[in-house]
């Protein structure tokens, strides 16, 4: 089996929340580090025991103790936005890898509970600290955490949107520069 196949098999077992708790820049980079022998398999808290045992089985290794420095293993978290404090600044939107927050500028933002992975990446971006992390079963109407495949699809769609947005920006910039140059000439 070559490296690409090995990375894919490992990545297929990771929960795809892209939370970076493993210390890598997402699930794929962590899968690459495991495949290259640079990282232990015990660094994925969202995957919990299930992912840990599946990785050990795939790689034919003993099951190591979870590395709790990476976070609480297997916890089902989500976040909630306090509607009384949200100022609608929209700073929480770009960091969400699965686009689970909705809201327009200067309007209340809301988390889609069924799509939120509890990755926590939005929390630090809120200037008024109104994004609250909680256990899923603490919610008034608890929902189950989204499945790996849903996380992956949403993350890939998010990445495509980021690329398209950047391309549009570059295009606009190039057109403005061209217009400015023609005015000078």
Chain residues in the site for ligand SF4 (CB under 6 A): 14-15, 17-22, 24, 26-27, 30, 44-47, 79, 81, 86-92, 95-96, 98, 100-101, 103, 109, 111, 116-122, 125-126, 128, 130-131
Residue count of the chain: 185
Q: Which is closer to ligand SF4, CB of 59 or CB of 89?
A: 89
SS3 101: strand
How many whole angstroms separate alpha carbon 119 and alpha carbon 168? 28
The three-class DSSP label of residue 81 is strand
Instruction: Tell me whether residue 85 or residue 171 sits nearer to ligand SF4 (CB atom).
Output: 85
Q: At what angle do helices 3-11 and 48-58 cross, to 10 degrees?
A: 160
**Minimum distance from CB of 168 to ligand SF4 (Å)?**
23
Shortest spacing between CB 22 and ligand SF4, in angstroms: 3
The tokens of 178 are what?
A: 């061209």
Phi, psi of 152 (to 5 degrees): -65, -45
- In whole angstroms, how close is the CB of 76 to ligand SF4 at the nearest point? 12
Select 74 or 103, whichever has its Cβ closest to ligand SF4: 103
Contact 70, 114 (CB under 8 A): no
Q: Work out how close the CB of 77 gets to ligand SF4 at its nearest, in angstroms, rounded to a whole number.
A: 7
């Amino acid at each position: 089996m070559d490296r690409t196949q090995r990375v894919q098999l490992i990545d297929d077992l990771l929960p795809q929340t892209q939370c970076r708790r493993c210390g890598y820049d997402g699930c794929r980079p962590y899968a690459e580090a495991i495949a290259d022998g640079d990282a232990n398999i015990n660094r994925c808290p969202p995957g919990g025991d299930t992912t840990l045992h599946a990785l050990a089985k795939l790689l034919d290794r003993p099951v190591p103790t979870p590395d709790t420095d990476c976070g609480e293993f297997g916890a089902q978290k989500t976040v909630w936005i306090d509607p009384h404090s949200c100022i609608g600044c929209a700073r929480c939107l770009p960091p969400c890898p699965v686009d689970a927050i909705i809201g327009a500028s200067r309007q209340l933002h809301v988390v889609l509970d069924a799509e939120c992975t509890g990755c926590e990446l939005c929390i630090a971006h809120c200037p008024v600290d109104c994004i609250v992390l909680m256990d899923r079963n603490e919610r008034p109407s608890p929902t189950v955490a989204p499945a790996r495949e849903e996380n992956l699809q949403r993350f890939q769609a998010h990445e495509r949107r980021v690329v398209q947005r950047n391309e549009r920006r570059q295009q606009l910039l190039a057109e403005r520069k061209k217009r400015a140059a023609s005015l000078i000439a």
